[in-house]
């Protein structure tokens, strides 16, 4: 599974509608409204790299209210449960 994190600048008066439209797209796992440098963050999960172009450039960036996007591809996932499991090896 390929994960991309998409930072989205949106029109301020359309953030809720824009977020919902993005969340409804195939390939979009989650959408967060947030404070800071961007208005929305979308997590895109696809099976093939080629699908990223379809989801992000082909669909997400064309949603009404989206002004600009910046995409970051995830190499590896780390979580507290993964870390705990790795350090708990041999403790049983």
Residue 85 reports pLDDT greater than 70? no
Report the pLDDT value the prediction gives residue 79, as an integer from 0 to 100.
77
Dig out the tokens for 46 from the structure.
Answer: 């696809």
pLDDT digits (tens, 9 = 90+) for 41-71: 999 999 999 999 999 999 999 999 999 999 9
The encoded tokens of residue 37 equal 């440098």
Domain boundaries, the chain: 2-75
In the DSSP assignment, the letter for residue 26 is: T
CATH number corresponding to 2-75: 3.30.70.920
Torsion angle, CA of 29/12/59/6, rounded to 10 degrees? -50
Asked whether the beta carbons of 6 and 61 are under 8 A apart, the reply is no
């Amino acid at each position: 599974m390929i994960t991309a994190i998409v930072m989205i600048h949106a029109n301020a008066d359309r953030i809720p509608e824009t977020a919902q439209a993005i969340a409804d797209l195939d390939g979009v796992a989650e959408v967060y409204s947030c404070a800071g440098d961007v208005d929305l963050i979308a997590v895109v999960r696809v099976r093939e790299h080629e699908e990223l172009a379809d989801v992000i450039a082909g669909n997400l960036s064309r949603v009404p209210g989206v002004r600009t996007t910046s995409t970051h591809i995830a190499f590896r996932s780390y979580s507290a449960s993964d870390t705990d499991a790795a350090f708990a090896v041999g403790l049983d």
